[in-house]
């Protein structure tokens, strides 16, 4: 319990540091946001007025804590370009990206874990080679090329879907999910390949350990040994890796949304970078970073529950 508290404390500290860095990153931007907002009719007086209106004339740390307080309350700032609340701009886009991320992550876990276990149990030279070659190939194909291939094959040749014709989940969840299936799979495929490779190696390493022989000599079935002893140990590095995958998938949506023209957070991020709309960029970056920190924390927690050595030590 004490360790759990310690972990929670580290989580909060990490979140604070990450948010501070994200905040500072956007403070060192060359150029004044006021010149951009005022455009051609900027005068020094008007700029100064706007600066104090935006609170830009106060010390950085004061502004950071103020921004943070607003942020946790859901006030993510006001867009320079659209002059509206960032939270409002995100409210219909975030669910789409979250849906895509979760779907892709579920696909990764549900496909990679059974495949990895199956591949780990088989000891055959040809299966080894087949798995490795398939892995190498899948890892070499970037998700956005998978996406383009999928658009070409299923969108243009077989006409299963119309690329660009996305239906938001608020209108029709089923249609939305079925549109998101291919993008999610494009993101998941390289991660599946990596996870299978890793889980398989991890299981095969564990199977050569002495405790496996002991368990077998005690008369446990092969499956029983795998489930009760081997998998527990083999899963530890894989869980950590799955956290990395969850982070990669989240940021991968930025690219894949572009390929499938999905109106999610990634597309908003890109257009905001293009128009130098920093409050929006900042909010999205902080949300993504927070997700990554929390996912890593969850993986750490899960390993903590699986591995009695960590609970003891």
Q: Which stretch binds other proteins (CB under 8 A): 52-60, 105-113, 140-148, 169-177?
A: 140-148
289 touches other proteins by CB under 8 A: yes
Q: According to CB under 8 A, which one of 81, 87, 296, 303 is a site residue for other proteins?
A: 296
Nearer to other proteins by Cβ, of 61 and 145: the residue is 145
Q: Which stretch binds other proteins (CB under 8 A): 58-66, 168-176, 212-220, 269-277?
A: 269-277
Q: Compute the CA torsion angle 243, 265, 139, 290 (nearest 10 deg).
A: -20
248 touches other proteins by CB under 8 A: yes
Q: According to CB under 8 A, which one of 51, 121, 232, 276 is a site residue for other proteins?
A: 276
The alpha-helical segments, DSSP class H, found in the chain are 2-25, 33-38, 44-54, 60-72, 86-91, 94-121, 125-140, 143-150, 173-207, 210-217, 222-225, 231-259, 265-274, 278-306, 308-312
Distance CA 76, CA 89 (A): 10
What DSSP state is assigned to residue 277? -
Distance CA 229, CA 211 (A): 8
Burial of 68 (0-12, 13-18, 19+ CB in 10 A): middle
151 touches other proteins by CB under 8 A: yes
12 touches other proteins by CB under 8 A: no
137 touches other proteins by CB under 8 A: yes
Q: According to CB under 8 A, which one of 62, 69, 140, 173 is a site residue for other proteins?
A: 140
301 touches other proteins by CB under 8 A: no
29 touches other proteins by CB under 8 A: yes
Strand partners, 78: 85
User: Phi/psi at 281 (nearest 5 deg)?
Assistant: -55, -45
Distance of CA 264 to the CA centre of its chain: 14
Output the smallest distance, CB 220 to other proteins, in A: 30
249 with 104: CB under 8 angstroms?
Answer: yes
CA distances from 138 to 131, 245, 283 (A): 11, 15, 33
Output the smallest distance, CB 195 to other proteins, in A: 16
Residue located via tokens 């993986």: 299
221 touches other proteins by CB under 8 A: no
182 touches other proteins by CB under 8 A: no
Output the smallest distance, CB 99 to other proteins, in A: 19
Nearer to other proteins by Cβ, of 188 and 226: the residue is 188
270 touches other proteins by CB under 8 A: yes
**Where do contacts with other proteins occur on this chain (CB under 8 A)?**
14, 17-18, 22, 25-26, 28-30, 132, 136-137, 139-142, 144-145, 148-149, 151-152, 156, 244, 247-248, 250-252, 254-255, 258-259, 269-270, 273-274, 276, 278, 281, 285, 288-289, 292-293, 296
């Amino acid at each position: 319990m004490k360790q759990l508290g310690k972990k929670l404390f580290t989580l909060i500290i990490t979140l604070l540091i990450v948010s501070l860095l994200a905040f500072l990153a956007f403070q060192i931007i060359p150029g004044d946001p006021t010149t951009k907002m005022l455009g051609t009719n900027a005068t020094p007086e008007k700029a100064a007025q706007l600066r104090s209106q935006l609170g830009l004339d106060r010390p950085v740390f004061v502004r950071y804590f103020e921004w943070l307080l607003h942020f946790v309350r859901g006030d993510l700032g006001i867009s320079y370009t659209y002059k509206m609340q960032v939270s409002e701009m995100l409210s219909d886009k975030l669910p789409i990206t979250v849906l895509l991320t979760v779907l892709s992550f579920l696909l990764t876990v549900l496909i990679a874990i059974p495949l990895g276990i199956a591949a780990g149990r088989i000891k055959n030279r040809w299966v080894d080679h087949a798995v490795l070659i398939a892995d190498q190939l899948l890892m070499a194909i970037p998700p956005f090329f998978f996406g383009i291939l999928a658009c070409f094959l299923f969108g243009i040749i077989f006409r299963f879907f119309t690329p660009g014709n996305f239906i938001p989940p608020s209108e029709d969840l089923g249609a939305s999910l079925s549109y998101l299936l291919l993008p999610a799979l494009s993101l998941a495929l390289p991660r599946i390949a990596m996870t299978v490779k890793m889980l398989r190696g991890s299981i095969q390493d564990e199977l050569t350990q002495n405790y496996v022989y002991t368990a077998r000599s005690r008369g446990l079935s092969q499956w029983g040994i795998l489930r009760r002893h081997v998998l527990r140990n083999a899963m530890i590095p894989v869980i950590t890796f799955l956290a990395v995958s969850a982070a990669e998938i989240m940021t991968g949506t930025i690219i894949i949304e572009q390929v499938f023209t999905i109106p999610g957070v990634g597309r908003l991020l890109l257009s905001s970078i293009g128009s130098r709309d920093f409050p929006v960029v900042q909010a999205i970056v902080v949300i993504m970073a927070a997700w990554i920190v929390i996912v890593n924390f969850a993986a750490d927690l899960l390993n903590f529950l699986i591995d009695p050595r960590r609970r003891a030590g």
